[in-house]
Amino acid sequence: MRILVTGGCGYIGSTTARLLARSDHEVVVIDDFSEGHRGAWDGELHEMDLRDPAKVSAFANSNAIDGIVHFAARAYVGESMVQPLGYWRANLVPVMNLCEAFPGLPFVFSSTCATYGEPDIARLDESLALEPVNPYGATKAAAERLLQDRAAADQGVYLALRYFNAAGADVFANGDHGEHHDPENHLVPRAISNGLGLLKEELEVFGTDWDTADGTCIRDYIHVSDLAEAHVLALDHLFDGKPSTVLNLGTGRGYSVLEILKAVEAATGTELNWKAAPRRAGDPAELVADATRAFEVLGWQAEHSSLENIVETAVNWHRKHPQGYCS
């Protein structure tokens, strides 16, 4: 199949694009390089801003595509709080443009646990009502709804995959591909950069007085290669004529911020330089997936997501490429 991967020069998108290509799909990537890197993907590439309907429609008129995997988005909770309009445009308009330009095509959508908001239960499953507490989560919930309405009108099947915290580096790339954002806001790469002396400033731990065992937030870290595998299975599911649905992608096991820092200290052989900082608005104490449905529907479960493997693959990437794709 010829698959369009949007945001395929970004972190999760490029890992998935490489795996799809290895799975005998023909992969076409669109990226506008607002975050992505040319070094992340060396196959067919079109530079384009998906917010532009005319460009998306011209692309659709000259390219035969069998399925869409849509990663392109803005993805920072804090930024979304101060740029809500920009987030609505960035995260909803491309979905509308793609659906209009490619009527009827199977659509795999990058959603997020941020759609759930701050539920007060230990493990989140897909039956929970979506009550996002920030514009980022709200835009993703709205895009899911758009895809649901499109499917209900028989205008195209979809799978929305709600990732928990993506981390680690492509297990097939031997340290040559990994996470590179500028600025980097994610805990695992920030902690590793701190441990390797690449990030001079102190690491901030946002809240040490949460109602958790060690007082820091708990998240479910899912290896980027596990996410990529779920997308390959998701496309197979849709191409096999199976129904649209929504699935969590996580491990079901949470780690606190301090547990992550300890794992990074062990892997880098250093003591991290960190300080306690105030809680951030919109940060729930604990977000852990119930990923039972992903196993039932796709036969998917996390295989690369032990904390050791997440940290080890990411450290390997940061050691080999201290400036990310710029080195």
Ligand X SMILES: NC(=O)c1ccc[n+]([C@@H]2O[C@H](COP(=O)([O-])OP(=O)(O)OC[C@H]3O[C@@H](n4cnc5c(N)ncnc54)[C@H](O)[C@@H]3O)[C@@H](O)[C@H]2O)c1
Please identify every residue annotated as catalytic: 136
The answer to whether residue 75 forms part of the interface with ligand X (CB under 6 A) is yes
Length of the chain: 327
Residue given tokens 């949470």 in the structure block: 254
Contacts with ligand X by CB under 6 A: the residue count is 28
Question: In the set 1, 26, 39, 49, which binds ligand X (CB under 6 A)?
Answer: 49
**φ, ψ for residue 276 (rounded to 5)?**
-75, 135
Query: Nearest distance from residue 37's CB to ligand X, in Å?
Result: 7
185 binds ligand X (CB under 6 A): no
Supply the DSSP string of 98-114, one letter for each residue. Answer: HHHHSTT--EEEEEEGG
DSSP characters over 112-130: EGGGS-S-SSSSB-TTSPP
Q: Which of 33, 118, 172, 174 binds ligand X (CB under 6 A)?
A: 33
Minimal distance, residue 154 CB to ligand X, in Å = 26
Nearer to ligand X, 191 or 211 (CB): 191
* Helix, strand or coil, per DSSP, at residue 202: coil
The residue among 47 and 271 lying less far from ligand X, judged by its C-beta, is 47
Chain residues 78-97 in contact with ligand X, contact rule CB under 6 A? 90, 94
User: Does 250 participate in binding ligand X (rule CB under 6 A)?
Assistant: no
- Residue 56 CA to residue 43 CA, distance in Å, equals 19
With CB under 6 A as the contact rule, which of the stretches 46-54, 99-107, 122-130, 239-247 interacts with ligand X? 46-54
- Comparison of 36 and 135: residue with beta carbon closer to ligand X: 36
Residue 50 or 272 with smaller CB distance to ligand X: 50
Helix/strand/coil percent split, the chain, to 5: 40, 20, 40
Q: Does 13 bind ligand X (CB under 6 A)?
A: yes
| Cβ(168)–Cβ(225) below 8 Å | yes
Question: Using CB under 6 A, which residues numbered 139 to 168 contact ligand X?
Answer: 163, 165-166
Range in contact with ligand X (rule: CB under 6 A) among 45-53, 197-205, 254-262, 291-299:
45-53
Residue 257 is a binding residue for ligand X (CB under 6 A): no
What does the alpha-carbon distance between residue 185 and residue 81 come to, in Å, rounded to a whole number? 15
Among positions 2, 34, 104, 172, the unique one binding ligand X when judged by CB under 6 A? 34
In angstroms, rounded to a whole number, what is the distance separating the alpha carbons of residues 11 and 32? 14
Q: How far is the CB of 41 from ligand X (least distance, A)?
A: 9
Site string for ligand X, 194-233 (x = CB under 6 A): ----------------------------------------
Could you write out the DSSP letters of every residue in 274-318?
EEEEPPPTT--SEE-B--HHHHHHH----SS--HHHHHHHHHHHH
At position 121, the amino acid (one-letter code) is I
Query: Of 29, 221, 299, whose CA–CA distance to 37 is shortest?
Result: 29
Shortest Cβ distance from residue 46 to ligand X (Å)? Answer: 9
What is the number of other CB atoms lying within 10 angstroms of the CB of residue 212? 17
Residue whose beta carbon is closest to ligand X: 10
Binding residues (CB under 6 A) for ligand X: these are: 7, 9-13, 30-36, 49-51, 71-73, 75, 90, 94, 110, 112, 163, 165-166, 181
